[in-house]
């Protein structure tokens, strides 16, 4: 909200400087967003003497002038104003000056119909000081030549722009702001004369009947109207126009300007109707789907939840929001009907939202306007109309009832110290509350506080504490350390929080960059990756590719990889550790750690290098990333089953699943299905993995942190190699399991060191070579021992795999 310093001073007796006021406003919760000098835009305009003005020989309406602007020489100026004459004083703009009323920068050295012109004599409209563009400004003869016009005319005022929080409807008028500043100690609040204005005769417009059926939403509470006959409308006085302009409003005519003055000055919106344009009876009712031509020159379709003021022909005004064109007040209006009404803030807010109309009335009424100001507001408006436009006011036409909260709060004064830590004396608390309009009764530590009608936001003790605190100043609250509950903090992070942290660091250590991608993806992507159900869709998505909560991190990462490729970076490795959504329930939210590698972005770097070939990523890179994370998170990889079951996004023959038993899936890895890659517009091989960090087993709670005793054998281990030929389809895991099982005590490790296929091992066959490590515990192994375990291994493997020992 904007207001000028002058305007504030009309309500506040103060000697405080602009700076002090600005600081105070911010500290009491009316945050200053800007303090501007109103005359800043007009700084360059100066007072000038028209030394000579004679007709332009080549024009019937232009004059050629010699102007003294205090520079010591006469300036040639061609002027088209009808009122320019020799000897007058006016306002002059030098070349290079920005002319706000014309929105251009004045050029110098121009020639107009053969006569040179180096500047401009200006009208009030060109300075945006009024709508008067009939002629240039005429100044008194004693106006000092060369002086800045803003200084001379006193339009060097200060404009404050403050932000009002939604709870402070009372501060949406300058008067309310002044009340707060006075309570803060920055001056004295000046009272406004709201006394009734004597009426002359009966009102031709009867109190408006409320025509609502029982359960209809009814926004109107009390409607006060006043018929004023024989007003003389037209442009408002300069001071009023200047005041409205300073805060960014366009002056219309005196009556309309008065309604704006009261709205901004006292936070009390009004509306004036041209009474002669009202047809039949004015009533209050809900709209019936009518079209409404509003004063913002737009047409709105109103519905039955919205209250209107209507006559026989239809809506005249959308109640509490905006008036209509049909009964708008013009310069020619002679009889008016001035409305001052109180409304239900919630219903005004709802109508405002529905129509999207942003108006000064809605802004105030949805924050709530003092219900005690309905009739006084009408009297104030009447007084201003009589003052500025004359006229005869009829008796007020009043219907309905205001709604008062009449709140009283039991307020133990100790609450101030309890909630803020501030020590404030009972006298000071009482004084602050009184200055803000609260009436406190009682003694000792207890007060019963009556809340003023303009503060419906205050309903309980904590609200009163805030009132006291903002007037004392939060900066005066003494800072007090928060005592520790434990001197050494116990473990802070939960298991899942630790898993996320470790997974991130492990993946980054493997050369992947951490991305953070949107939680919502397109419906198409969601469906492809196992989501897309209705419960995970937004009702009001911001974009068509952000409609569904992601069921997987891969679509976001793949889109990221695609964007990188489009920028010329085809070899990328990205991961994300974040939430995915299996349903809209809290338990449907899991944390996944997922990653993608594209092109040659393998763990030891992308691109060609002198030390080796630039190989493209494959299923093995994805499997290695997945295993690295599981290992870092304490999962015993030897106990995890790796199954040849590809994820729905994976190449069916180059993807697998990590599982623990039949129920728990830890993750998937694989190469992206080539068809899916093509659909997603990603070229080249993509290795990807997903880990469900929530699926990992919780470490068993142990009574002691002691590790089992170490068993160090004093005998050297022995290793033996075996090669088998078997069907191509036999899983390596089967071979390893069989070999290991041949002698669980002696065999400590089995590794595969060679796998190959070829004609010489037979069609559909492969050769697998394993190295078995034997660790004797109680004596050195004899040849016989070794022979025995070797034959057990051969038997176990051949039996399980259907293969045979390669000779």
Partner 1 sequence: MSLENQIETLRSELTAAIAGADNEAALDTVRVSALGKKGSVSALLGTLGSMAADERKSAGPVINGLKNDIAGLIEARSTELKGAALEARLKAETVDVTLPLPPAPTAKGRIHPISQTIDEITAIFSDMGFAIAEGPDIETDYFNFTALNFPEGHPAREMHDTFFMKPGPDGMKKVLRTHTSPVQVRVMQKTNEKPAASYLTPSQDPPIRVVMPGRTYRNDSDQTHTPMFHQVEGLVIDKDSHIGQLRWVLEEFLKAFFEVPSVTLRFRPSFFPFTEPSMEVDVQCDRSGSEVKIGEGNDWLEILGCGMVHPNVLRNAGLDPDVYQGFAWGMGIDRLAMLKYGMPDLRAFFDADQRWIEHYGFRPLDLPTLFGGLSS
Residues 19/25, Cβ–Cβ less than 8 Å: no
User: Counting contacts by CB under 8 A, is residue 511 touching partner 1?
Assistant: yes
Q: Determine if residue 410 is labeled as part of a ligand binding site.
A: no
- In the complex, the smallest distance separating the C-beta of residue 459 from partner 1, rounded to whole angstroms, is 9
Residue 192: Cβ within 10 Å count: 17
Q: Determine if residue 457 is labeled as part of a ligand binding site.
A: yes
Residues 191/12, Cβ–Cβ less than 8 Å: no
User: Counting contacts by CB under 8 A, is residue 764 touching partner 1?
Assistant: no
Q: How far is CA 569 from CA 514, 597, 678, 683, 726, in A?
A: 16, 12, 18, 12, 43
What is the rounded CA–CA span in Å between residue 775 and residue 378?
A: 102
What is the rounded CA–CA span in Å between residue 27 and residue 474?
A: 8
Which residue, among 646, 517, 502, has the nearest Cα to 574 in the 3D structure?
A: 517
**511 Ramachandran zone, left/alpha/beta (phi>0; psi -120 to 50):** left
Which tokens belong to 159? 């404009």
Residues 806/725, Cβ–Cβ less than 8 Å: yes
Nearer to partner 1, 280 or 478 (CB): 478
Which positions ≥6 away from 8 have C-beta within 8 Å?
14, 21, 160, 174, 177, 178, 181
The one among 520, 529, 649, 668 contacting partner 1 by CB under 8 A: 520
- In the complex, the smallest distance separating the C-beta of residue 298 from partner 1, rounded to whole angstroms, is 21
Which positions ≥6 away from 609 have C-beta within 8 Å?
none
User: Counting contacts by CB under 8 A, is residue 489 touching partner 1?
Assistant: yes
Residues 216/307, Cβ–Cβ less than 8 Å: no
Q: 319-378: which residues touch partner 1 (CB under 8 A)?
A: 345-346, 349-350, 353, 366-367
Q: How far is CA 507 from CA 224, 501, 510, in A?
A: 71, 10, 5
- In the complex, the smallest distance separating the C-beta of residue 170 from partner 1, rounded to whole angstroms, is 13
- In the complex, the smallest distance separating the C-beta of residue 24 from partner 1, rounded to whole angstroms, is 11
Nearer to partner 1, 65 or 162 (CB): 162
Which residue, among 358, 330, 313, 357, has the nearest Cα to 273 in the 3D structure?
A: 330
User: Counting contacts by CB under 8 A, is residue 478 touching partner 1?
Assistant: yes
Residues 624/529, Cβ–Cβ less than 8 Å: no
User: Counting contacts by CB under 8 A, is residue 465 touching partner 1?
Assistant: yes
User: Counting contacts by CB under 8 A, is residue 460 touching partner 1?
Assistant: yes
User: Counting contacts by CB under 8 A, is residue 581 touching partner 1?
Assistant: yes
Nearer to partner 1, 482 or 712 (CB): 482
Q: 8-47: which residues touch partner 1 (CB under 8 A)?
A: 26-29, 31
User: Counting contacts by CB under 8 A, is residue 514 touching partner 1?
Assistant: yes
- In the complex, the smallest distance separating the C-beta of residue 358 from partner 1, rounded to whole angstroms, is 12
Residue 529: Cβ within 10 Å count: 24
Residue span binding partner 1 (CB under 8 A) among the ranges 564-572, 641-649, 660-668, 765-773: 564-572
Residue span binding partner 1 (CB under 8 A) among the ranges 71-79, 107-115, 514-522, 798-806: 514-522
User: Counting contacts by CB under 8 A, is residue 131 touching partner 1?
Assistant: no
- In the complex, the smallest distance separating the C-beta of residue 185 from partner 1, rounded to whole angstroms, is 16
Q: Determine if residue 463 is labeled as part of a ligand binding site.
A: yes
**273, β-bridge pairs:** 337
What is the rounded CA–CA span in Å between residue 484 and residue 781?
A: 62
Nearer to partner 1, 91 or 512 (CB): 512
Q: 525-554: which residues touch partner 1 (CB under 8 A)?
A: 534-542, 546, 549
DSSP string for residues in 23-64: HHHHHTT-EEEEEEEGGGGGTT-EEEEEEEEEE-TT-SS-EE
Nearer to partner 1, 28 or 50 (CB): 28
Total of residues contacting partner 1 (CB under 8 A): 110
Which residue, among 762, 769, 764, has the nearest Cα to 736 in the 3D structure?
A: 769
Nearer to partner 1, 182 or 512 (CB): 512
Nearer to partner 1, 150 or 565 (CB): 565
Nearer to partner 1, 367 or 651 (CB): 367
Residue 530: φ, ψ to 5° = 90, 10
DSSP string for residues in 554-599: HHHHHHHHHHHHHTT----EEEEEEEEESSSSGGGEEEEEEEEEET
User: Counting contacts by CB under 8 A, is residue 303 touching partner 1?
Assistant: no
- In the complex, the smallest distance separating the C-beta of residue 511 from partner 1, rounded to whole angstroms, is 4
Residue span binding partner 1 (CB under 8 A) among the ranges 246-254, 486-494, 675-683, 770-778: 486-494
Q: 672-701: which residues touch partner 1 (CB under 8 A)?
A: 694, 698
The one among 609, 777, 799, 806 contacting partner 1 by CB under 8 A: 609
Residues 320/342, Cβ–Cβ less than 8 Å: no
With tokens 């409305």, the residue in question is 339
- In the complex, the smallest distance separating the C-beta of residue 749 from partner 1, rounded to whole angstroms, is 26
Strand order across the beta sheet in which 446-450 lies:
408-412, 446-450, 439-441
The one among 69, 469, 736, 781 contacting partner 1 by CB under 8 A: 469
The one among 510, 528, 651, 654 contacting partner 1 by CB under 8 A: 510
User: Counting contacts by CB under 8 A, is residue 710 touching partner 1?
Assistant: no
User: Counting contacts by CB under 8 A, is residue 298 touching partner 1?
Assistant: no
- In the complex, the smallest distance separating the C-beta of residue 382 from partner 1, rounded to whole angstroms, is 31
Longest CA–CA separation in the chain, Å = 133
Q: 138-167: which residues touch partner 1 (CB under 8 A)?
A: 165-167
The one among 15, 72, 492, 763 contacting partner 1 by CB under 8 A: 492
Nearer to partner 1, 328 or 685 (CB): 685
What is the rounded CA–CA span in Å between residue 635 and residue 695?
A: 11
Binding-site annotation, residues for Mg(2+): 457, 463, 466-467
Binding-site annotation, residues: 457, 463, 466-467
């Amino acid at each position: 909200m904007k207001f000028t310093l002058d305007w504030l001073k009309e309500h506040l007796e103060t000697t405080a400087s602009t700076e002090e006021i600005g600081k105070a406003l911010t500290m009491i919760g009316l945050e200053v967003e800007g303090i501007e000098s109103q005359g800043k835009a007009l700084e360059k305009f100066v007072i000038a003497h028209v030394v000579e003005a004679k007709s332009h020989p080549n024009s019937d309406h232009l004059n050629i002038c010699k102007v003294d602007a205090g520079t010591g020489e006469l300036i040639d100026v061609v002027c088209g104003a009808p009122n320019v004459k020799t000897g007058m004083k006016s306002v002059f703009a030098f070349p290079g000056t920005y002319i706000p009323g014309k929105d251009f920068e004045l050029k110098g050295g121009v020639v107009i119909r053969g006569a040179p012109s180096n500047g401009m004599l200006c009208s009030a409209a060109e300075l945006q000081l009024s709508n008067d563009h009939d002629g240039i400004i005429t100044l008194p003869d004693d106006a000092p030549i060369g002086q800045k016009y803003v200084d001379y005319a006193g339009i060097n005022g200060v404009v404050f722009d403050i932000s009002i929080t939604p709870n402070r409807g009372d501060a949406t008028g300058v008067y309310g702001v002044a009340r707060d500043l006075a309570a803060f100690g920055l001056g004295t609040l000046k009272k406004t004369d709201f006394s009734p204005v004597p009426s002359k005769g009966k009102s031709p417009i009867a109190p408006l009947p409320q025509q609502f059926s029982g359960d209809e939403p009814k926004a109107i509470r009390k409607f006060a109207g006043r018929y004023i006959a024989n007003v003389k409308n037209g442009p408002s006085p300069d001071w009023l126009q200047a005041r409205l302009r300073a805060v960014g409003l366009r002056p219309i005519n005196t009556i309309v300007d008065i309604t704006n003055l009261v709205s901004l000055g006292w936070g009390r919106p009004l509306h004036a109707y041209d009474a002669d344009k009202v047809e039949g009876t004015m009533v209050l009712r809900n709209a019936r789907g009518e079209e409404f031509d509003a004063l913002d020159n737009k047409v709105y379709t109103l519905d039955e939840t919205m209250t209107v003021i209507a006559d026989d022909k239809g809506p005249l005004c959308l109640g509490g929001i905006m008036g209509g064109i049909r009964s708008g007040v013009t310069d020619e209006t002679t009889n008016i009907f001035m409305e001052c009404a109180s409304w239900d803030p919630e219903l005004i807010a709802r109508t405002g939202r529905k129509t999207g109309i942003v108006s000064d009335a809605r802004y105030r009424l949805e924050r709530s306007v003092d219900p005690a100001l309905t009739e006084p507001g009408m009297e104030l408006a009447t007084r201003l109309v009589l003052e500025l436009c004359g006229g005869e006011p009829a008796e007020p036409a009043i219907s309905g009832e205001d709604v008062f909260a009449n709140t009283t709060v039991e307020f133990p004064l100790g609450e101030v110290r309890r909630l803020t830590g501030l020590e404030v004396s009972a006298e000071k608390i009482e004084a602050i509350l009184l200055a803000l309009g609260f009436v406190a009764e009682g003694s000792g530590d207890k007060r019963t506080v009556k809340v003023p009608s303009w503060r419906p936001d205050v309903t309980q003790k904590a609200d009163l504490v805030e009132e006291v605190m903002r007037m004392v100043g939060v900066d005066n609250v003494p800072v007090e350390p928060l005592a520790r509950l434990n001197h050494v903090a116990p473990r802070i992070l939960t298991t899942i929080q630790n898993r996320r942290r470790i997974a991130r660091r492990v993946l980054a250590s493997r050369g992947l960059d951490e991305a953070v991608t949107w939680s919502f993806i397109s419906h198409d992507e969601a469906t492809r990756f196992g989501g897309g159900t209705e419960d995970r869709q937004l009702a009001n998505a911001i974009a068509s590719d952000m409609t569904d909560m992601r069921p997987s991190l891969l679509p976001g990462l793949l889109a990221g990889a695609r964007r990188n490729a489009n920028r010329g970076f085809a070899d990328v490795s990205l991961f994300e550790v974040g939430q995915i959504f299996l349903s809209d329930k809290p338990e449907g939210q899991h944390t996944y750690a997922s990653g993608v590698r594209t092109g040659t972005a393998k763990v030891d770097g992308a691109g060609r290098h002198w030390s080796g070939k630039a190989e493209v990523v494959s299923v093995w890179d994805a499997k290695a990333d997945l295993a690295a994370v599981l290992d870092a998170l304490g999962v015993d990889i030897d106990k995890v089953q790796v199954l040849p079951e590809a994820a729905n996004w994976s190449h069916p023959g180059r993807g697998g699943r990590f599982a623990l038993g039949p129920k728990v899936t830890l993750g998937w890895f694989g190469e992206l299905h080539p068809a899916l890659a093509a659909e997603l517009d990603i070229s080249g091989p993509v290795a990807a993995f997903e880990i469900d960090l929530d699926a990992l087993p919780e470490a068993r709670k142990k009574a002691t942190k002691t590790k089992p005793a170490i068993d160090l054998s004093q005998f050297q281990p022995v290793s033996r190699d075996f090669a088998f030929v078997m069907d191509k389809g036999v899983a390596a895991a089967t071979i390893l399991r069989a070999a290991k099982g041949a002698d669980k005590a002696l065999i400590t490790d089995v590794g595969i060191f060679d796998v190959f296929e070829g004609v010489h091992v037979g069609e559909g066959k492969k050769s697998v070579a394993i190295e078995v490590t034997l660790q004797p515990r109680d004596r050195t192994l004899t040849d016989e021992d070794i022979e025995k375990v070797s034959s057990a291994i051969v038997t176990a493997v051949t039996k399980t795999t259907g293969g045979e020992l390669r000779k």
